[in-house]
């Protein structure tokens, strides 16, 4: 049931092809939070992804490794469906979108302060 989750640190994004927002999911019942979740949208499709680790393949292409995963697809789909319901029911109010550069790392570089 999605009342076990809360969405915090909602940051809308307007300068990306599919990412609509970054946010944190708090698991109220166990005291756990997942930071830098992402809401994506392309056409009529919407989906949630978690932060991942970027790496460079031997051929020079960039890949991503999931840091968080579900061991059964049923749990993954149920969780993501619940999060989308929360977003639809609570995050629809007016918010100030991010229009400048978006830093995805753990800490913004000092040169980005004031941007």
Distance (Å, whole) CA 27 – CA 7: 9
Which positions of the chain have pLDDT values less than 50?
Answer: 1-2, 93-109, 111-115
Give me the torsion for CA of 25, 82, 75, 43, rounded to 10°. Answer: -100
16 assigned to some structural domain: yes
Beta bridge mates, 94: none
Q: In this structure, are residues 33 and 25 in contact, taking their beta carbons and an 8 Å threshold?
A: yes
- The total domain count for the chain is 1
pLDDT of residue 3: 61
pLDDT of residue 106: 42
105 assigned to some structural domain: no
pLDDT of residue 44: 86
Give the structural domain span for 34. Answer: 2-95
91 assigned to some structural domain: yes
| pTM across the whole model | 0.70
47 assigned to some structural domain: yes
72 assigned to some structural domain: yes
Q: Output the CA–CA distances (angstroms, integers) from residue 1 to 59, 66, 69, 91, in the order listed.
A: 44, 25, 19, 18
């Amino acid at each position: 049931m999605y009342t076990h989750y809360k969405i915090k640190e909602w940051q809308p994004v307007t300068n990306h092809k599919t990412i609509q927002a970054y946010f944190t999911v708090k698991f109220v019942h166990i005291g756990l939070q997942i930071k830098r979740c992402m809401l994506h949208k392309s056409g009529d499709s919407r989906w949630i992804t978690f932060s991942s680790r970027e790496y460079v393949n031997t051929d020079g292409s960039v890949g991503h490794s999931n840091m968080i995963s579900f061991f059964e697809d049923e749990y993954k789909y149920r969780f993501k469906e619940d999060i989308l319901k929360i977003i639809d029911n609570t995050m629809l109010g007016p918010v100030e979108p991010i229009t400048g550069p978006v830093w995805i790392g753990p800490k913004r570089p000092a040169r980005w302060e004031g941007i």
